[in-house]
Structure 1
Amino acid sequence: MKVQVLHIEECPSWEEAGARARQALDGAGLADVAVEFVLIRTPTEAAITAFAGSPTIVVDGEDLFPSDGQTTSLACRVYFTEHGLAGTPTRTQIERALQNHL
């Protein structure tokens, strides 16, 4: 399994998204799976990935939270959480999405 956090430099949420992904993987017994951070610098780089705004958590090349939002714009992403809109999904949301992916 390959887990990546696609992000832009200006995004304030990419590190937290990675930390939550790490926690979710550990909780699922997948401590041996690395979380790779991928800096998206250009619209071209965004276009050749599953980038849907920063941060986008990708598992095996697919957005863990699929939407119609794939973009080449170097912009932040917003997630719907039980606490309202946020810059990253909650750990629980990531855990559920990982379970659905497996």
Structure 2
Amino acid sequence: MEIELWVVPDCPNQQLAEEQLRQALDDAGLPTTGFTTRVIADETEAERSGFTGSPTILINGHDPFAEPDATPSLTCRLYRTPDGLARAPDADLLRHALEDARRS
């Protein structure tokens, strides 16, 4: 499984996303699975890669939390969670996304 965390430079939500992702990997029974972090540095790179906000988590090249009609940009991203909007997906949502990817 290939997992990437995409962020803008100095993203204030990077640490939270990393912590939630690590917890989700542990909860999904994937404690040795790692992930890479990619910094999206400018608008051109955001456009080229389809980056719609920081942090973005890709699992096997797919954004399981993609919002329809989101436009590429160097912005902070918010996620819909059971508790409302959040700066990163919670570990439970991430665990479900990881499990879905593992079954695919």
TM-score, normalized by length of structure 2?
0.85
- 1:33-56 Cα distance to aligned partner (Å, 9 max, x none): 212111110122222334221000
1:8-19 counterparts in 2 under 5 A?
A: 8-19=8-19
Partner of 2:47: 47
Q: Which amino acid aligns with 2:30?
A: L
Partner of 1:85: 85
Structure 1 gap segments, 5+ residues each: none
TM-score, normalized by length of structure 1?
0.87
Structure 2 gap segments, 5+ residues each: none
Partner of 2:100: 100
Q: CA RMSD in A?
A: 1.6
Q: What is the alpha-carbon distance in structure 1 between the residues aligned to residue 69 and residue 43 of structure 2?
A: 14
SS in 2 for 1:21: helix
Residue identity over aligned pairs, in percent, reads 37
Q: State whether structure 2 residue 5 is matched by structure 1 residue 5.
A: yes
